[in-house]
Structure formats: C-alpha cells, structure tokens
Amino acid sequence: MLADLTAFSITSAARLITGARALWLGCTPQPVQRLYYANHSSHGDFVLLWASLPDALRKRTRPVAGADYWCKPGLREFIIRKVFNAVLIDRQRSDTLDSPLQPVLDALAQGDSLIFFPEGTRNLGDEPLLPFKSGLFHLAAAHPQIELVPVWIANLNRVMPKGRALPLPLLCTLSFGEPLHRLPGESKPDFLERARLALLTLAPKEA
C-alpha cells in the first residue's frame, strides 16, 4: 500500500514538474515485451520514462539500475526495490564467474519489459551520447524476439541540473522510436552503432 502510494506521488510529481509529453513516433504503446533504451543524463531519467508509460505497460516494466548507487539503507533503497521493483546490477563487482547482466537476462526470461541505459552511466558532458557499452548487444542476442525501442529524453538534465536541490519547471519530451532487433549475423560494433544512431535521430534538432 505504501509502495503504491509512493509510486503515485512520484509519478504525479514528475509529470507536474516536467510537463512530460510522450511522443510515440515509431511505435504505439502496446502490451508487448520491450526493452526501452534511452539516453542518460539524470538520476530521474527512469522515473520520467516509467511515468510516461500507460498504466498497463507501467505495471510490467522495470528499470535497470546500479546497485552501487541505489542500495543505500533508507528511503533510496525502499524506492528502488519496493516502488519501482528495479532490476539491480552490480557495476563494481570484481569476480567474473557470473555476468553482471544476469539479473537483467533473468528478468527478460520471465517476461518483464525493461528500461535500460546503454551508456552505462550518466552523460554529464557536451556530447549528445556516450559510446554504448556492450550490454545492449548481449541482451539483444540472448532475446532476439524482444523489441528494442529507442527513447530520447529531452530537457530533463536542465530540469534537474547536477548540484541543484530543487528542480526547474521545464517542458520535457520523451520520443519513442521504431523498434529494432539484432540482424542475423550482425556484429557487436555494427549493432551498437545502428542502435546508437536510431536513438540519436530522435534527439531534437538544434535551431
């Protein structure tokens, strides 16, 4: 009950502050299993993307998040585990016996849709996108039937700039592109570049 109330409060506040608009440009919000992959410039990215989904999709969609940041005792851990039911990955693990992506692979295998950030960390520089890590390729190869949907999140880094305690009211848009899959025999570099370009094409053009 508390988790549901917290989720409603967070998503309502996110929509109110950002005036978030979901633009379904290359697909429609259908109840099929998807991996939504997006640019990453703020800790609020997954919240806004999750909040922008219709209720039916939101209930079956889980964000992928770094355990090193979110698994701190208290409110942060409650939110990520109980409110968003996130798939947590250990980005600082030292052993190599198991893939750090295994929790993500398990979630996909059980039918969950996911929110994923292929840059691997927040982009705080001037480049529109950091190079993609290999994770997206491995997920696409392991689950070729799942739709990979690029989502460009515009303006959230300006609403919640680093170091500022309170957000700045500013319109945000989330542009959902055309789903893609890994092509048969497609190499990792070729796939990652194609996926990266599919996301970049959704970015607002500079005036």
Model pLDDT, residue 153: 93
Confidence of residue 168 (pLDDT cuts 50, 70, 90): very low
- Long-range CB contacts (< 8 A, 24+ apart) of 10-14? 10/47, 10/51, 10/79, 10/83, 11/47, 11/50, 11/51, 14/44, 14/47, 14/48, 14/51
Model pLDDT, residue 207: 41
The CATH number linked to 45 is: 3.40.1130.10
pTM here is 0.86
For residue range 13-35, list pLDDT tens digits in order: 777 777 778 999 999 999 999 99
For residue range 107-138, list pLDDT tens digits in order: 999 999 999 999 988 887 788 899 999 999 99
Residue 164 has pLDDT above 50, yes or no: no
- Does the residue 88 lie in any domain? yes
- Does the residue 205 lie in any domain? no
- Does the residue 183 lie in any domain? yes
Model pLDDT, residue 170: 55
What residue numbers bound the domain in which 38 lies? 2-200
For residue range 40-63, list pLDDT tens digits in order: 988 788 888 998 999 889 989 999
Q: How many domains does the chain have?
A: 1
- Does the residue 206 lie in any domain? no
- Does the residue 151 lie in any domain? yes
Better pLDDT: 181 or 74: 181
